[in-house]
Structure 1
Amino acid sequence: MKVKVIAMTAVVILIIAAVIYLSTQSLLKKEQDVSLVSILPKIELQPMFYEKNNFFSAIEKSKDIKPEKNIQAIVVPHHLLVSEYIAGLMKRASGRSIDTVVIIGPNHENVGQEILATTLAEWQTPAGGVSTDNQLVNSFLSDLREQSNYYAFIHEHSIGAIVPFVKYFFPQAKIMPVIINSYANVQDAERLATWLDKNLPDNSLVIASTDFSHYLDKDTASKNDLQTRQWITERDTQSIAHLNNDYVDSPISLATILLLAEKRGLKTQEVYHGNSFDFSLKKPAETTSYFGLAFY
């Protein structure tokens, strides 16, 4: 009899211990989640991310643009010289509620070993902070087996130059930043586009942040842009993936958004095309060109 009582007592103690353990783990997880949000590392505002006069001039030039409800993705420059292109496309895409903005751009300095890098962070802007969509970022890291790399984003203007415009036009939105190093190939574009197609929240906007031809005279840049336009129209991602700075500074960002558009049956509209030569007071011998695209 005593043995049975002892055994039953032991079972009760084990059950109580298990309940206490599970409750403790649940509380710890909640505390960790709260802590994670409160200690997101900050990425400070920098001149390459924001120029006050340029920014508000661009906002003013976009005031007559009518917001549209069916734009799912856009391609914008990250060169602040043409901030009006960024603002114009953001304004055009602001006709519906946007909760998450995915920004894809080049990892200009190839910081870190990741082919596709992202991070959990909060970007500082004059209008307040813009935080990452932590759930989406963590899913990305888990599904694609990538590592978070905060340091790759501290000075990366392909993301930083876009965030102040996101804050202005989509003030409540969170972001998922992805930067792509120069070793990426079309398979990486397919991998990213497939993941986005399966995981994008309903109220989301995808932005490819990329400039086009670099360091060429205007005539050569214009010729190259004609070829690039043809590849975009044909959605020839194989050819685009092999391009260099003579054509586009982030071919895999461009290929990714074209592949995503193909998967989702989206049409492409060229909204802007220009060259830094036409925006500069001193006409440079070396130029940068730009396309602004919208996908419906």
Structure 2
Amino acid sequence: MNNIRQPAVAGLFYPDKPDILKSMISDYLHQVAPVNEAPQAIIVPHAGYIYSGEIAASAYARLQSRRNSIKRVVVLGPSHKVSFAGLALSHAEAFRTPIGDIPVDTEAIASIIHFPFVGYSDQAHLYEHSLEVQLPFLQMTLDAFKLLPIVVGDCPAEQIEQVLELFYGADDTLIVISSDLSHFHDYATAQRLDKETSEKIEHLDYQHLDYGSACGLAPVSGLMALAKKKSLQIATIDLRNSGDTAGDKSRVVGYGAYVIN
């Protein structure tokens, strides 16, 4: 493969040495109590691993029983670097991490490119960390799989829901939504705000979330819209912030992990 999306935040958000990276993720996963029922979709944070890795692991550890069956992962995360409308695909044939290359699912791309709000933007993917930080976790919890990576710009929940509905519920598919929660409040304020946000997520009340609630508001709302349409339940399995993990409590970022079984 010649066209490979290179890692942009290896050595910054997570270790760039394969052995150290694998060991770190394994440690996070082993801290999670076993759960037999594997999710169809998860919402996980995307900060540096020392801040949010434990919270992300609480969802990824639940994939064990689907490790061999998941062959496609649809990952949606917000754009931090580029402003645009709709959903952005990549021309890359594979996405690289220190652990190895993940092939892009061209069949999945072909199934959504007809939507008028879906297009290509390699620039949106070039430096975007919201998708990248999920990939080593997926490599450590699944066997061979293909990737449908989507960076989300300004896009209504109902449009994102149309895309997710094409993939949700397939035995061979996992949906991953990448989002942090509140940003840069004091510890107590963040706890209150993130609890309120989690309650809205659980009640599928996406119309009353705002960008102060979650940086991945659009993809989270799209999953909530799908859950509402299909009468599904989203459960909170972990809710902490950087003050609980590796940060100062005067100015924290919130992290939640959620699953649809």
Please give the range of the TM-score, normalised by the shorter of the 2 chains: 0.7 to 0.9
The CA distance in 2 between the partners of 1:119 and 1:257, in whole Å, is 21
Matched with 2:60 is 90
Residues 183-222 of structure 1 mapped to structure 2, 5 A cutoff: 183-184=154-155, 188-200=156-168, 201-222=170-191
Q: 1:50 aligned to 2:14? A: yes
Give the CA deviation at 1:102.
Answer: 0.8
Relative to structure 1, is the Cα distance of residues 57 and 145 closer, same or farther in structure 2, using a 3 angstrom cutoff?
Answer: closer
Q: Distance in 2 between matches of 1:120 and 1:167?
A: 21
Relative contact order (alpha carbons < 8 A, sep ≥ 6): 1 or 2 greater?
A: 2
Unaligned 5+ runs, structure 2: none
> Corresponding residue for 1:248?
214
Residue in structure 1 matched with residue 114 of structure 2 by the alignment: 142
Structure 1 residue ranges without an equivalent (≥5): 1-37
TM-score (norm 2): 0.87
Aligned residues: 250
Match of 1:60 in 2: 27
Q: CA deviation at 1:195?
A: 2.5
Q: Is the 8 A contact 1:106 1:158 kept in 2?
A: yes
2:147 and 2:57 map into 1 onto residues whose CA distance is 17
Aligned identity (percent) is 24
Equivalent AA in structure 2 for residue 283 of structure 1: D
Of 193, 197, 210 in structure 2, the residue corresponding to residue 224 of structure 1 is: 193
Q: Which one has the largest radius of gyration? A: 1
CA distance in 2, matches of 1:116, 1:215: 27
1:116 to 76, 79, 87: 87
Q: How far 1:101 moved relative to its partner?
A: 0.7
State whether structure 2 residue 253 is matched by structure 1 residue 288: yes
Q: Secondary structure at the match of 1:95?
A: helix
CA distance in 2, matches of 1:224, 1:110: 27
- What are the superposed Cα offsets for residues 227-261 of structure 1, whole Å, 9 maximum, x if unpaired? 21221122111112xx123x211211111111222
Distance between the aligned counterparts of 2:241 and 2:22, measured in 1? Answer: 19
For structure 1, which segment, 64-73 or 84-93, has the greater mean C-alpha deviation from structure 2 after superposition?
A: 64-73
Partner of 1:71: 39
Distance 1:283 1:72, change over 3 A: same
In the superposition, relative to structure 1, how do residues 49 and 172 fare at CA in structure 2: closer, same or farther (>3 Å)?
farther
TM-superposed CA distance for 1:146, in Å, is: 2.5
Query: 2:104 — aligned with what?
Result: 132
Superposition TM-score, scaled by structure 1 size: 0.77
Contact 1:114 1:146 in 2 (8 A): no
Are 1:272 and 2:222 matched, yes or no?
no
Q: For residue 7 of structure 1, what is the aligned residue in structure 2?
A: none
SS at match of 1:94: helix
RMSD between aligned residues? 2.1
Q: Structure 2 CA distance, aligned partners of 1:155 and 1:171? A: 26
Distance 2:136 2:242 in 1: 21
Larger helix percent: 1
Match of 1:107 in 2: 79
- Give me the whole-angstrom Cα distance separating, in 2, the residues matched to 1:109 and 1:290: 20
Other-structure match for 1:262: 228
Aligned to 1:41: 4
- What is the DSSP-based 3-state SS (H/G/I as helix, E as strand, rest coil) of the residue aligned with 1:262? helix
Q: Please name the residue that 1:29 is paired with.
A: none
Alignment of 1:157-172 (within 5 A): 157-172=129-144
Alignment partners' CA distance in 2, 1:223 and 1:251: 18
Letter in 2 for 1:217: D
Instruction: Specify the code of the residue in structure 1 equivalent to 2:183.
Output: H
SS at match of 2:120: coil
Equivalent residues of 2:36, 2:65 under 8 A apart? yes
Q: d(CA) in 2 for partners of 1:196 and 1:268?
A: 15
Q: Is the 8 A contact 2:236 2:256 kept in 1?
A: yes
